[in-house]
Structures are given as structure tokens and as C-alpha cells.
Amino acid sequence: MAPASSADSPADSDNAFSGGTPPVRPDIAALAPYIPGEQPQGGEWIKLNTNENPYPPSPTVAEAIREAATGRRLAKYPDPLATSFRVKMAELLGVEPDWILCGNGSDDILTILVRSFVGQGESLRMPYPSYILYRTLAGIQGARCHEVSFETDWSLSPAFAASRDGLRLAVIPNPNSPSGTVLRKEWLLEVAEQLPCPLVIDEAYADFAETDCVDLVRACEKVIVTRSLSKSYGLAGLRFGFAVARPEVITQLTKVKDSYNCDTLSIAAATAAVTDTGWLTETRDKILATRKRLEAALTNLGFLAQPSQANFVWCTHPQKSHKAIYEALKAEGILVRWMNFPSWGDGLRITVGTDEEIDAFLAAVAAILQRL
């Protein structure tokens, strides 16, 4: 390629790269990175910090991966639309396959949504405290994030639906993280109808809740629902999520996604996982029973435990330091998530593990509370 002449590239001494660290866009340089929960590699941990399923996935998943890895299948590109998954999930949800877009985890779907709807200088609305990744995704676009604080009972003011110049997308996790609380479906529909932009309902945890909002996608053209296989299907390591939206919306989002954002193995595995509906029911029931026990035990230990509709419990202690509890647990090989939300406060988010893991956690925390 011929070297660029000065006529091709206008002089811009501020941005010229003359060695050292290449300059990224100023809004990326200023961006606070999203920091996921700790993922220790190696060592024996009781891991109750990132809302993974404590049970192994359906055995059909490993079979599907083995089969997809045989012969020449991995030599070929994957199906760009993950059709086998879309067909199966459409059947389960009672929609058509063209209402579904698959992604490399629901984080990929959220990225596609923010890239599609929110441009530089525009804004995204989210509740606070909730999933901080939304803020980072807005930042990557050079967009602003308009955060509306939850009330102390984890309800949201109807002001969440208010118009605002440049507002292009609103996102609400339901159930919310870190609280595990849900907003009523009727309330969400009213908000969607009033908002001047699409409303994404992030249902990463909906399989653990009493209701979900997929039918709102039909009821209101502004509603988009996102789902994850990371939590309820025990497939956090696989990376598979999807959106449910009107076909016109899916067509636009498909232009923004990477051509092959899901690979052959993950498509086969995800399709097998959602086909095994018995596994989902059985595992969910075990997690809900353990969640109930965890909530009661935390309350007995003096915590304020927020009743949860997800696979984790948010709790605060009126006297003890949450950070100190987190650190003492970590020293004993038990990881929970200490979360500190400036201007809101901090607390501990405990993922529902197996009964044995939760018993070990409860015994450790009871002893820690005695000595703190």
C-alpha cells in the first residue's frame, strides 16, 4: 500500500502517533472499565460471587458439543443466525424464530443494542444500583448515562419514563441485580408506553422469578427482552444469550452484530440445553429451595436479607462492616460479592450455591460475625 500523503490525512498534530502508547479516543481513555466479579483460576473456592449455577449443565450439552466437534464441522463457519437455537427457543416462548437474535452471552446482546440505538452525545437511561455494564456500554459510544435511583424499597419512580433530549434507550434488569427484586409487569408496560425510546428488559435472571415479560414484546413495540443461558442453564462458560424483539428490530440489530458472534459448539450446546426442559425445572426448584433457606438463615444471623426472585440474595448488616465480612470469608476460601454503590451504600450479594456450599458459607459467616 502506498504511504498516506499529507493530502490523504489532514495534519492533526494532537492525534499523530509518534511512538509510545497509541492514543485511543479521549472518551475511551476517560472511561472507567467495567470490573467483573473475581474469577480465580485454580485453587479450591466456594464461589458465591458471580451468580453462576452451582450444578453442572444438562448432560445433553456435552453430547451435543462432542457431536458438533466431530468430522469437518469445526472446519466450516458456524450458522450466522444460530437457526437451530432460534427455532427451539421460538417454540418454547410462543414466538416466531425471526423474533430472536442470538449472541455471545447476553452481554454481547446488550452491546449490540447500545451500539444500535445510542449514538455519540445521546443518552441511555438505567436504574441505580443495577448492572453497571450498561453505563460502560454507553461510555464506549461516547454517550451519556442517565441513572435513576431506586427508592429504598427497590421500586422506581414513574419519572423513569420521562422524556429527555437525546434519550435513545432505557434498560431495566428484571429481576434486578444486586437486589434480586422485580418490578411489576403492568408497571413496566406503562413505562414502556410512555418512554420516548425502546425499553430493554434484561431478564438474565427471569427463570428464577415468578413472572417474565416476554409477552410485553407483543403488547408494546418498544419492548425488547434479553435473556442469558449463563445462570439458569448453568452455561456461564459457554457464552450464550439472546434477545426477543419484533422482527423489524431484529433485522436492524443483525446488521450490527459480528457475522459469526456464536460458534458452532455454543450453538449446538445451547440448543441441547434449552431442549432439556426437565433439567431446567429440576435445577431451578433446587436453587429456589436453597434460596429460601439462605434468606431465612441470613435473617437469623442479623442481616437484612432482601427477598429475592433471582439466584442470589442481597443483604446488609446493620452493625458489621460488609467489606470486613467479605475479606474474612475470602481468607477462608469463600467468595461472595461485596458491592459498593457510591451515594447508595454497600452490601453483600450472595449467589445461591448447593446446599453444602451454603451450609459452609453460613457456618463461616456466623463465626466471622462473632469475632468482628
Q: Are 352 and 313 in contact (CB under 8 A)?
A: yes
Can you give the length of the chain in residues? 372
Footprint on residues 112-151 left by ligand PLP (CB under 6 A) = 131
Q: Is residue 230 within the footprint of ligand PLP (CB under 6 A)?
A: yes
C-beta closer to ligand PLP: residue 131 or 279: 131
Q: Is residue 212 within the footprint of ligand PLP (CB under 6 A)?
A: no
C-beta closer to ligand PLP: residue 57 or 241: 241
Footprint on residues 149-188 left by ligand PLP (CB under 6 A) = 173, 177
Can you state the angle between helices 322-331 and 355-371, rounded to 10 degrees? 120
Total residues interacting with ligand PLP, rule: CB under 6 A? 13
First to last CA, the chain: 67
Closest CA to 171 of 119, 130, 227, 115: 130
Per-residue x/- marks for ligand PLP, 41-60, CB under 6 A? ----------x---------
Cα→Cα distances 319→302, 322, 330, Å: 9, 9, 20
C-beta closer to ligand PLP: residue 314 or 328: 314
Q: Are 135 and 123 in contact (CB under 8 A)?
A: no
Contact with ligand PLP (CB under 6 A) among 53, 58, 106, 123: 106
Beta bridge partners of 347: 339
Q: Are 53 and 232 in contact (CB under 8 A)?
A: yes
- How far is Cα of residue 244 from the mean position of the Cα atoms in its chain? 15
107-136 residues labelled b (16+ CB within 10 A) or e (exposed)? bbbbbbbbebbbeeebbbbbbbbbbbbbbb
In angstroms, what is the minimal distance from the CB of 2 to ligand PLP? 43
C-beta closer to ligand PLP: residue 112 or 297: 112
**Cell triple for 315:** 443483604
Cα→Cα distances 297→106, 154, 270, 367, Å: 32, 22, 35, 14
Contact with ligand PLP (CB under 6 A) among 49, 111, 123, 228: 228
Helix intervals (H) in 151-263: 185-194, 214-219, 247-256
Q: Is residue 368 within the footprint of ligand PLP (CB under 6 A)?
A: no
In angstroms, what is the minimal distance from the CB of 204 to ligand PLP? 4
Beta bridge partners of 201: 172, 225
C-beta closer to ligand PLP: residue 53 or 58: 53
Contact with ligand PLP (CB under 6 A) among 54, 126, 135, 202: 202
Listed ranges 41-49, 64-72, 103-111, 208-216: which one lies at the site for ligand PLP (CB under 6 A): 103-111
Listed ranges 17-25, 102-110, 321-329, 334-342: which one lies at the site for ligand PLP (CB under 6 A): 102-110
Footprint on residues 305-334 left by ligand PLP (CB under 6 A) = none
CB contact set of 336 (below 8 Å; sequence gap of 6+): 48, 49, 326, 329, 348, 349, 350, 351, 361
Contact with ligand PLP (CB under 6 A) among 54, 234, 241, 353: 241
Contact with ligand PLP (CB under 6 A) among 54, 97, 105, 234: 105
In angstroms, what is the minimal distance from the CB of 363 to ligand PLP? 27
In angstroms, what is the minimal distance from the CB of 122 to ligand PLP? 22
Contact with ligand PLP (CB under 6 A) among 52, 107, 263, 357: 107
Residues forming contacts to ligand PLP in the complex (CB under 6 A) are 51, 105-107, 131, 173, 177, 202, 204, 228, 230, 236, 241
